[in-house]
Amino acid sequence: MLRRMHPEQPKGFKFTPKNMIWVKAQIKKYPKGRQASAVIPVLWRAQEQEGWISQPAIECVAKILKMAPIRVFEIASFYFMFHLSPVGSVAHIQVCGTTPCMLRNSEEIINLCKEHISSKAHSLSDDGKFSWEEVECLGACANAPVCQIGKDYYEDLSKDSFLEILDELVLGRVPKPGSKIKRFASEPKGGLTSLKGKKENKLNASVARAVKLKDTIKRIEE
Ligand code: FES
């Protein structure tokens, strides 16, 4: 898929002082003269700060890493984890549309995004709070259909559970990630068939951490 810069660009981009300290620490991980190797974490930090990768952000990263801006753009446009358009101020929802999710009705989830967020992917809702896109396999096919919001996965989705997630976000709350049919991980729907004696925690490690940190949709603000 051809990915281009957004037609509307901000005037500039600057890392916050705290993020700049973080960026310099990343560069130090690489041998002298190889600062360009830090391009992906530095771009990622730019996205964590702004929500997306703008042209000024690309130019800023290129300057810091002493790279040609086109080289940084090549990287930002190659990896779909980098958003080249502005995203919703509350959440950008990435719905998996690859075969296992499609067979489990991901199209219904995509239609809900069109209905409740915006008729087109990569554009903002009227209030600017939400955006969405269809993505390729998120690697959680056993729990299809799946969407990623910020740092976390929402799995075993149905129309109703997806609308509940949207409602929570609208109310300013962080919906609980993980399986929406109360699966611990990706065990059979009817429960474990082996290792039954194993004592389980209530939540798997990733969901427990997400619930503790509540940083699913948090941006780096400083
Ligand atoms: S196909 Fe959707 S997570 Fe793999």
Which comes out higher in pLDDT, residue 117 or 80?
A: 117
Rounded to the nearest whole angstrom, what is the distance from the C-alpha of residue 156 to the centroid of ligand 1? Answer: 11
Residue 221's pLDDT band (cuts 50, 70, 90)? low
Average confidence (pLDDT) over 115-135: 96
Average pLDDT over residues 153-162: 97
Indicate the residue type of 139. G
Nearest atom, ligand 1, residue 140 CA: 3
Q: Name the pLDDT band for 214 (thresholds 50, 70, 90).
A: confident
Residues 18 and 84: their CA atoms lie apart, in Å, by 24
Q: How far from 72 is each of 1, 16, 21, 86, 213, CA to CA, in Å?
A: 18, 20, 20, 18, 32
Average pLDDT, integer, range 108-125:
96
Residue 222 has pLDDT above 60, yes or no: no
Does the beta carbon of 101 sit less than 6 angstroms from any atom of ligand 1? Answer: yes
pLDDT at 218 over 90: no
CATH entry, 17-78, from 1.10.10.1590, 1.20.970.10, 1.20.1440.120, 3.40.50.720: 1.10.10.1590
How far is the centre of ligand 1, averaged over its atoms, from the C-alpha of 146 (Å)?
Answer: 7
Ligand 1 touching residue 100 (CB < 6 A):
yes
Q: Do domains 17-78 and 91-213 have the same CATH topology?
A: no
- With a 6 Å cutoff on the Cβ, whether 141 touches ligand 1 is yes
pTM comes to: 0.89
Q: What is the tens place of the pLDDT at every residue in 82-97?
A: 999 999 999 999 999 9
Judge whether 216 and 150 are in contact, CB under 8 Å: yes
In a 3-state reduction of DSSP, which class is residue 71?
A: helix
CA separation for the pair 5, 33 (Å, rounded): 29
Q: Note the pLDDT of residue 200.
A: 65
What is the average pLDDT score of the chain?
93
What residue spans define the domains of the chain? Answer: 17-78, 91-213
Is the CB of residue 34 less than 8 Å from the CB of residue 114? no
Determine contact, residues 75/133, Cβ cutoff 8 Å: no
Q: How many secondary structure helices (H) and strands (E) does the chain include?
A: 8, 5
C-alpha 102 to ligand 1 mean position (Å): 8
Average pLDDT of span 24-34: 95
Asked whether 98 lines ligand 1 (CB < 6 A), one says: yes
Q: Which fold has domain 91-213?
A: Glutaredoxin (3.40.30)
Strand runs labelled E in the chain? 91-96, 130-135, 147-149, 152-155, 178-179
